């Protein structure tokens, strides 16, 4: 199973001047500053602002957010454009947090895409978008693939930024190594489903390095190597027995046997780590027992003189 990570604050609000309950006051201050005495029907700028102002004063955040965007579209250089250009990102952050709490994927994506259009590297939006869609949809039970394309896109963008050293504003609220490891696991699963096995292994190996306590990474990479081992064995056994048992085997025979040994050793390395990590806290049920049976057989094959030595290696 893919483990989840603790989420911190999703979007940091801009300043105390835009805190809850202060928007109406700020709006009045803006009005006074511009010397607006009364809204005139002949002034569409003032009329549009008044509609927004009334919705905002009534604490209707979704409505006032849309009205503010409409105002900025119609009056990009209007009298209140400077103020509303600052208000909109703050309101978007509040709505985004509400959508995250209620698991409203459609609203999250819409609001997130608006924020990312303004700042494509806004990791404060990319992280929760990728986290939510992967945990609550793509990797849920049963899975919901409605937004699988968006989930993959956000995940790849978030990984790229995290790898470059970019951190969310409230970095203390995130366990960044665990978060990045989780995203690597997600991408490993995508590559595995697309039969890009080398890429899948690469992502699982990255996950194991930055979060070595996460058993799933080693289970997953070990499963790929086991499949390679079985295919290498099949390939080797297809060689005529007289060639396999020759005093001096052909180079092709030796190369195929080397594939068998390397895949077996790689499987053992990953699955011994998996067994060790799950020895005292097994969340994999019977799967762990089957992995141990395979490890016992492979270890005996590769270490016939000490077939039970692996038991020491898997102790917690």
pLDDT at residue number 31: 42
Q: Tell me, yes or no, whether 105 and 161 share the same domain.
A: yes
Q: Tell me, yes or no, whether 177 and 50 share the same domain.
A: yes
In a domain, 117, yes or no: yes
SS3 string of 143-166? Answer: CCCCCHHHHHHHHHHHHHHHHCCC
197 backbone φψ class: left, alpha, beta (φ>0; ψ -120 to 50): alpha
In a domain, 129, yes or no: yes
Count of domains observed in the chain: 2
- As a whole number of angstroms, the distance between CA 292 and CA 38 comes to 79
pLDDT digits (tens, 9 = 90+) for 221-235: 999 999 999 999 999
- As a whole number of angstroms, the distance between CA 131 and CA 35 comes to 46
pLDDT digits (tens, 9 = 90+) for 31-56: 433 434 444 444 899 999 999 999 99
CA dihedral 20, 23, 26, 31 (to 10 degrees): -170
The answer, as to whether pTM is greater than 0.85, is no
pLDDT at residue number 239: 96
Mean pLDDT of 297-315: 98
DSSP characters over 23-49: HHHHHHHHHHHHT--S--TT-HHHHHH
Q: What CATH number is associated with residue 129?
A: 1.25.40
Measured in whole angstroms, the distance separating CA 271 from the mean position of its chain's CA atoms is 24
Nearest to 201 by CA among 257, 286, 209: 209
Nearest to 129 by CA among 115, 145, 141: 115
Length in residues, the chain = 316
In the chain, pLDDT over 70 holds for what percent of residues?
86
Q: Tell me, yes or no, whether 189 and 235 share the same domain.
A: no
pLDDT at residue number 120: 98
pLDDT at 17 over 80: no
Mean pLDDT of 279-292: 98
In a domain, 211, yes or no: no
Q: Tell me, yes or no, whether 55 and 151 share the same domain.
A: yes
Question: Which residue in the block uniquely carries the two structure tokens 């509400």?
Answer: 98
- Domain range for 247 is 219-313
Question: Which residue in the block uniquely carries the two structure tokens 């270890």?
Answer: 299
- As a whole number of angstroms, the distance between CA 153 and CA 87 comes to 28
Q: Tell me, yes or no, whether 71 and 174 share the same domain.
A: yes
- As a whole number of angstroms, the distance between CA 22 and CA 154 comes to 33
pLDDT digits (tens, 9 = 90+) for 158-186: 999 999 999 998 777 788 899 999 999 99
pLDDT at residue number 18: 34
pLDDT at residue number 170: 79
Is pLDDT larger for residue 249 or for residue 38? 249
- As a whole number of angstroms, the distance between CA 187 and CA 204 comes to 9
pLDDT at 24 over 70: no
Q: Tell me, yes or no, whether 21 and 169 share the same domain.
A: yes
Q: Helices in the chain by DSSP H: which ranges? A: 23-34, 44-57, 61-74, 81-101, 105-118, 123-133, 148-163, 176-193, 197-210, 215-237, 241-244, 251-277, 286-302, 310-313
- As a whole number of angstroms, the distance between CA 164 and CA 106 comes to 29
pLDDT at 280 over 80: yes
In a domain, 180, yes or no: yes
pLDDT-derived band at 21, boundaries 50, 70, 90: very low
Is pLDDT larger for residue 39 or for residue 111? 111
In the chain, pLDDT over 90 holds for what percent of residues?
84
In a domain, 227, yes or no: yes
In a domain, 33, yes or no: yes
Q: Tell me, yes or no, whether 182 and 242 share the same domain.
A: no
Mean pLDDT of 253-259: 97
């Amino acid at each position: 199973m893919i483990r989840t990570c603790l989420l911190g604050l999703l979007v940091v609000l801009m300043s105390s001047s835009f805190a809850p309950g202060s928007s109406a006051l700020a709006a009045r201050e803006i009005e006074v500053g511009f010397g607006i005495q009364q809204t005139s029907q002949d002034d569409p700028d003032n009329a549009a602002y008044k509609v927004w102002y009334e919705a905002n004063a009534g604490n209707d955040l979704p409505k006032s957010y849309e009205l503010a965007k409409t105002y900025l579209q119609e009056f990009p250089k209007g009298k209140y454009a400077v103020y509303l250009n600052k208000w909109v990102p703050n309101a978007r952050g509040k709505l985004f947090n509400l959508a995250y709490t209620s698991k409203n994927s459609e609203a999250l994506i819409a609001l997130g895409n608006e924020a990312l259009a303004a700042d494509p590297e806004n990791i404060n939006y990319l992280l929760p978008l990728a986290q939510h869609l992967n945990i609550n949809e793509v990797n849920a039970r049963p899975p919901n693939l409605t937004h699988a394309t968006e989930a993959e896109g956000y995940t790849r963008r978030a990984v790229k930024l995290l790898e470059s050293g970019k951190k969310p504003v409230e970095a203390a609220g995130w366990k960044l190594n665990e978060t990045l490891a989780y995203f690597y696991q997600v991408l490993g699963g995508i590559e595995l489903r697309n039969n890009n096995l080398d890429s899948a292994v690469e992502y699982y190996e990255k996950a194991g390095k930055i979060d070595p306590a996460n058993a799933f990474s080693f289970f997953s990479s070990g499963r790929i190597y086991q499949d390679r081992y079985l295919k290498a064995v099949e390939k080797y056994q297809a060689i005529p027995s007289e060639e396999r048992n020759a005093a001096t085997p052909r180079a092709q025979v030796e190369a195929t046997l080397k594939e068998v040994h390397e895949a077996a050793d790689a499987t053992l390395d990953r699955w011994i780590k998996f067994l060790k990590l799950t020895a005292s806290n097994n969340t994999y049920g019977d799967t762990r027992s089957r992995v141990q049976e395979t490890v016992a057989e492979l270890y005996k094959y590769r270490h016939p003189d000490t077939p039970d030595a692996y038991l020491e290696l898997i102790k917690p």
